[in-house]
Chains A and B, each alone.
Chain A
Amino acid sequence: MSTARGPVRGGPEVVRHVVLGLLSLLFLLPFYVVVRNALASPAELVSASWVWWPADPSLANLRRLFADENVQFARSLLNSAVVSVLQTVLTVAVSAMAGYGLARVPSRWSRVVLGMTVLTLMVPTTVTFVPTFVMVSSLGWISTLRGLVVPVLFSAFATFLFRQFFSGFPVELEEAAALDGAGRWRTFTRVVLPNAWGICAAVGTITFLNAWNSFLWPLLIGQDPAYRTVQVALSAYTSSQRVDTAQVFMGSAVAILPVLVVFVVLQRQLVQGVERSGID
Chain B
Amino acid sequence: MSTAAPTRTGAARRRGPQDRQRSRARTRSDLRWFWVFCGPFVLGLVVFVYVPVLWSVYLSFFDARNTVTPTTFVGLDNYAYLLTNRAFLVSMGTFVVFAVLIVPTTFALSLGLALLVWRARFAAAFFRSAFFLPTACSYVVAALVWRLSIFNGARFGLVNAGLRAVGLDPVAWLSGEHYLYWVVLVSLRLWLQAGFYMVLFLAGLQRIPTDTYEAAALDGATGWRTVRWITLPQLRATSVAVLLLLAIGAFQAFDEFYNTLVSVGSYPPYARPPLVYLYLVSLGQGTQDLGVGSAGTVILTIVVALLGALQLRILRPRKDEA
Please list the residues of chain A having a beta carbon within 8 angstroms of any beta carbon in chain B: 1, 3-6, 8, 12-13, 16-17, 19-20, 23-24, 27-31, 33-34, 37, 45-50, 94-95, 97-98, 100-111, 113-118, 120-136, 138, 150-151, 153-154, 156, 159, 164, 167, 171, 174-175, 178, 184-185, 188, 209, 212-216, 220, 231, 234-235, 237-241, 243, 245, 248-249, 252, 255-256, 259-260, 262-263, 267, 270-271, 274-275, 278-280
Say what secondary structure dominates the interface of chain B: helix
6 A-B residue pairs with Cβ-Cβ distance under 8 Å, sorted by A, are A28-B130, A37-B149, A95-B41, A106-B30, A128-B301, A274-B199
Known: A24-B130, A128-B49, A134-B55. A110 touches B5 (CB 8 A): yes
Known: A127-B251, A135-B48. A50 touches B154 (CB 8 A): no
> CA A3 – CA B206 in complex, angstroms?
9
Q: Is the CB of B156 within 8 A of A278?
A: no
Rounded to whole Å, the gap between the CB of A124 and the closest CB of chain B is 6
Measured CB to CB, the nearest residue on chain A to B254 is A216
10 extra interface residue pairs, beta carbon distance < 8 Å, beyond A20-B117, A127-B301: A5-B213, A8-B121, A30-B150, A101-B33, A102-B5, A104-B8, A128-B301, A171-B8, A184-B36, A234-B140
The 7 A-B residue pairs whose C-beta atoms are closest, nearest first, are: A101-B37, A122-B308, A154-B44, A131-B52, A98-B41, A213-B138, A131-B56
B171 an interface residue at 8 Å Cβ cutoff? no
Measured CB to CB, the nearest residue on chain A to B122 is A17
B76 an interface residue at 8 Å Cβ cutoff? no
Q: Is the CB of B48 within 8 A of A151?
A: yes
B residues less than 8 Å from A245 (CB atoms): 148-149
Q: Is the CB of B45 within 8 A of A120?
A: yes
Q: Is the CB of B154 within 8 A of A46?
A: yes
- A129, A132, A213, A278 interface centre (most CB from chain B within 10 Å): A278
Q: Which of A124, A136, A255, A279 contacts B203 (CB 8 A)?
A: A279
How many A-B residue pairs have C-beta atoms within 8 angstroms? Tell me: 343
Q: Which of A30, A231, A239 contacts B262 (CB 8 A)?
A: A239
Rounded to whole Å, the gap between the CB of B206 and the closest CB of chain A is 8
- Interface members, chain B 107-158 (any A CB < 8 Å): 113, 116-127, 129-150, 154-156, 158
Q: Is the CB of A97 within 8 A of B296?
A: no
Q: Is the CB of A154 within 8 A of B49?
A: yes
> CA A47 – CA B262 in complex, angstroms?
25
Rounded to whole Å, the gap between the CB of B229 and the closest CB of chain A is 14
Q: Is the CB of A235 within 8 A of B259?
A: yes
The stretch from B14-22, B82-90, B175-183, B312-320 touching chain A is B312-320
Rounded to whole Å, the gap between the CB of B182 and the closest CB of chain A is 18
Q: Is the CB of A116 within 8 A of B304?
A: no
Q: Is the CB of B136 within 8 A of A1?
A: no
Measured CB to CB, the nearest residue on chain B to A25 is B130
> CA A116 – CA B117 in complex, angstroms?
39
